[in-house]
């Protein structure tokens, strides 16, 4: 007669919530071993991220300014002249470039900061509205 197999009841079929696990170490002996072999999970990376107070990094602004200086410098007539061709000191490329920089700076500012400020104001108004409703009920 064949040997009787040990029957094991399966684990609970309930879904684990985000950032939680039924097994604390995801099958590894310890949390340190899991981090060494596998790295951090997404939710652990988000929790460990430091909040940055600087909206746009200074190095990005510095590179942008250097590129603008080089671009303006290359429009001057003493660089890249061909023999027998005189370029004027001013053309409409510089005002068009300034308009482009202003427009794109606003777009970048909106995506980085303004959108978040508007969302915070909206949340604040909703919170005040809920508090007013709660105080009116009492």
What is the reported pLDDT for 7?
Answer: 55
Per-domain residue ranges of the chain: 58-137
Give the global pTM. 0.40
What is the reported pLDDT for 103?
Answer: 94
d(CA 89, CA 49): 50
| C-beta separation of 73 from 79 below 8 A | yes
Contacts of 27 (CB under 8 A, 6+ apart): 34
The pLDDT tens digits along the chain (138 residues) read 555 555 555 555 566 666 665 566 667 778 888 888 888 888 888 777 776 666 677 888 899 889 888 887 777 777 766 777 777 777 788 888 889 888 988 888 787 777 777 788 888 898 988 888 888 876
């Amino acid at each position: 007669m064949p040997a009787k197999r040990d029957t094991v009841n399966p684990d609970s079929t309930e879904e684990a919530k985000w950032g939680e696990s039924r097994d604390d170490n995801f099958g590894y002996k310890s949390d340190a071993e899991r981090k060494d072999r596998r790295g951090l999970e997404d939710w652990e990376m988000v929790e460990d991220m430091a909040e940055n107070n600087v909206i746009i990094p200074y190095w990005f602004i510095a590179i942008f300014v250097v590129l603008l200086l080089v671009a303006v410098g290359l429009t001057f007539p003493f660089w890249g002249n061909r023999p027998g061709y005189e370029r004027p000191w001013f053309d409409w490329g510089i005002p068009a470039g300034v308009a482009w920089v202003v427009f794109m700076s606003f777009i970048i500012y909106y995506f980085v900061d303004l959108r978040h400020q508007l969302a915070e104001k909206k949340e604040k108004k909703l919170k005040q509205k809920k508090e007013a409703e709660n105080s009116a009920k009492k």
